[in-house]
Amino acid sequence: MKIGGLYCEERGATDGEPIILSAGLGGSGDYWTPNLAALCAEYRVILYDHRGTGRSDRVLPDPMTVETMADDLITLMDGLAIENAHIMGHAAGGLAGLMLALRAPQRLRKLVVVNGWARADPQFLRCFETRLALLRNSGPLAYIHAQPIFLYPAEWISEHSARLTSEEDGHLAAFPGAETMERRIAALSAFDIDARLGDIAVPTLAIAAMDDMLVPWTCSARLAEGISGATLMTMPWGAHSCNVTVPDIFNRNVLAWLSEGVQPGKA
């Protein structure tokens, strides 16, 4: 179904606490497939495609900012008559959750930010300059073909190479367009709430993969340092998309923190 132009799906326990899963730059709710079975056993899970991507309306707001991404989370909750929800966001989706925690904390129960940041790190900017150069100079297929390098550990890419190659045609067909990607990347690059982290009072779990080459784990450490009472969970392996590469470990720790507020520490 669509709510305010946003494609969304509901899964799992209809009487469970609601949790909204917000994807990263690619924007597709399908990103969370490896985590659904574990989450759906206990929670009312809401998946959605970010505005401008997937099955959602392709027209982006002007200006396109992380604030407008947070507005879309409110649009979803209002449309589904959800007063407040847990939110788990990967990278861009985590930033939307952080912004919502600043603007409307009453709409959040708990927030999980996976490989996110309070301010764009130089390594992040370098990686996205490289990805944008590929997109501009070589086209969407080259951009898509290079994407796993930034998302997964090298050995995982080798092991899953055939699958990754077979998925490229589907990713190309769903590609939202160069202009949309440029504007989404610009919004993420401009995001800076570092000086406001102390204003966030929502219970927050910052998950960081130590081998993430796109967003250094120290960015998550900064979130945990700046947000009062926040928990940092470091994963030694798994890279930027650690919820995909090591889903069992990821799911176990997230579920424990959501249900009991335990301090996972290291995976």
The domain segmentation of the chain, as residue ranges, is: 2-118+193-260
Hey, CA dihedral for 265, 102, 67, 30, is it positive or negative?
positive
Residue 45 in tokens: 């899970």
Residue 73 has, within 13 A of its CA and on its CB side, a CA count of 35
- Secondary-structure class of domain 2-118+193-260 per CATH: alpha beta
Per-residue pLDDT tens, the chain, 267 aa: give them. 999 999 999 999 999 999 999 999 999 999 999 999 999 999 999 999 999 999 999 999 999 999 999 999 999 999 999 999 999 999 999 999 999 999 999 999 999 999 999 999 999 999 999 999 999 999 999 999 999 999 999 999 999 999 999 999 999 999 999 999 999 999 999 999 999 999 999 999 999 999 999 999 999 999 999 999 999 999 999 999 999 999 999 999 999 999 975 444 444
CA distance 28 to 38: 19
Angle, CA 124 vertex, CA 121 and CA 127 arms, to 5°: 150
Residue type, 131: R
Cβ atoms of 18 and 9 closer than 8 Å: no
Specify the residue for token string 């951009």: 143
**115 and 90 Cβ atoms separated by less than 8 Å:** yes
CA-closest candidate to residue 103, choices 64, 73, 76, 78? 73
What pLDDT shows up at residue 260?
78
As given in the structure block, the two tokens for residue 2 are 């669509």
Query: How many CA atoms are closer than 13 Å to the CA of 49, on its beta-carbon side?
Result: 20
With H, G, I as helix, E, B as strand and everything else as coil, classify residue 247. Answer: helix
The token duo for 77 is 């909750």
User: If you search the block for the tokens 């490289």, which residue do you land on?
Assistant: 130
* Cα(114)–Cα(112) distance, integer angstroms: 6
Question: Rounded CA gap, 181 and 35, in Å?
Answer: 25
